[in-house]
Amino acid sequence: MRLLITGGCGFLGSHLVEHFLKIPDVEIVVLDKLTYASNGFDRLRDISASNDISRAEMALRVRALSADLARPIPAGIIQEIGQVDYIVHAAAESHVDNSIVDPLPFLESNVLGMHNLLMMVRAMSSVKRVFAVSTDEVYGPAAFAESHLTSERTLAGLLAFTHTVAGFDEQAPFRPANPYAASKAGAEAVAMAYANTYKLPVTIVNTMNLYGERQHPEKFVPLVIRKVLRGETVTIHADPTRTRSGTRFYLHCRTYANALAWLIEQDASGTAMPLKLHVCGEREISNIEMAEMITAAMEGHYTLNYELVDFHSSRPGHDLRYAMRDDVIRQMGWVRPMNLEQSLEKTVRWYLSNMRWLNL
């Protein structure tokens, strides 16, 4: 099988490459813009070192090309990509703070990027399916159970409120609350429209709060590890009263990659693929609980010092609670390979053995 992974040098993309390298007879083409988010080829080099994969095998099975999907893909790059069986489209601008400062690059990379990729797919007869990576943020913030309804207390409003509390499913409407979320909603709309208009085989796979090895050191898991090691205070986002922290469904990148590999197997065997699917962590936890679990996994005499701050009131576009359901893919038969505790312990141990990724 020949697989194209866009954004394959980035955080999530590198985990996709690593996962598919463990599957025999898979050749991988990586297409990446090689911006600050990719660290050049550093993550791909780390895959080779961490898995005892020789440079010769990497060269044989992984080919990396550079292109900016915000622009039409050059004919020479398309020729170098060649015919591929499946595409995992993970390339995206994804930093919410940056999107608030300057939204335009996010619209270009995420919306036009989807357009340009699917225009290429239209000309490729070999592509069996495109799996497009998306985010829970397209649905906007999820309400807490005890929150007051902002709309009229009609039956429809109550049903919508209950739906939000339980977690968004694949039928939830878009309510993007920041420019990044809007750009991903736009990308999904393009994918849906082109799947319908041009009969392209596209499945959008939303996920949320990914973590894992080789993540940017300012993200939550490596940030907590670094601050605990230094004895510094961890800032945790909370509600305006600073009494309740935000909550998330944390998911390891390799678990998400496992789901995508399983979906490719199902598609190859003839299973009908829906237009949209969700993959998320098995349970909702507060950011305080997550920080405590990270500290406990460090297996030392470490103490978590934290402070709850009202970050969201001053920064509209950041949401206190995210909640999403992945009942559909689990009903199809997919089973998570690891639970949160197992994957988090593995990740924390990796960081403690690879301190350079913590920027200490």
Q: Which pair of structure tokens corresponds to residue 241?
A: 């009263």
Q: Determine the pLDDT at residue 151.
A: 47
The residues, any chain, with a CB within 8 Å of residue 84's CB and separated by 6 or more, are 2, 3, 4, 29, 124, 126, 127
The CA distances from residue 34 to 21, 44, 153, 275, in Å, are 21, 12, 49, 29
Residue 32 in contact with residue 76, Cβ under 8 Å?
no
* Cα 158 from Cα 154, distance rounded (Å): 6
- What pLDDT was estimated at residue 38? 66
The structure tokens listed for 127 are 């592509």
Strands 247-248 and 285-286: antiparallel
At residue 226, φ and ψ (nearest 5 deg) are -65, -45
Helices 287-297 and 220-230 pack at an angle, to 10 degrees, of: 60
Give residue 310's pLDDT.
82
CB atoms within 10 A of CB 254: 21
pTM equals 0.91
Q: Strands 233-237 and 305-309: what pairing?
A: parallel
- pLDDT 10s digit of each residue in the chain, 360 long? 999 999 999 999 999 999 999 998 999 999 999 876 667 788 988 887 667 777 788 888 999 999 999 999 999 999 999 999 999 999 999 888 889 999 999 999 999 999 999 999 999 999 999 999 999 999 988 876 544 444 444 555 544 544 556 789 999 999 998 999 999 999 999 999 999 999 999 999 999 999 999 999 989 999 999 999 999 999 998 888 888 888 899 999 999 999 999 999 999 999 999 999 999 999 999 999 999 999 999 988 899 999 999 866 656 656 788 889 999 999 999 999 999 999 999 999 999 999 999 987
CA distance 134 to 89: 9
For residue 245, the model assigns a pLDDT of: 87
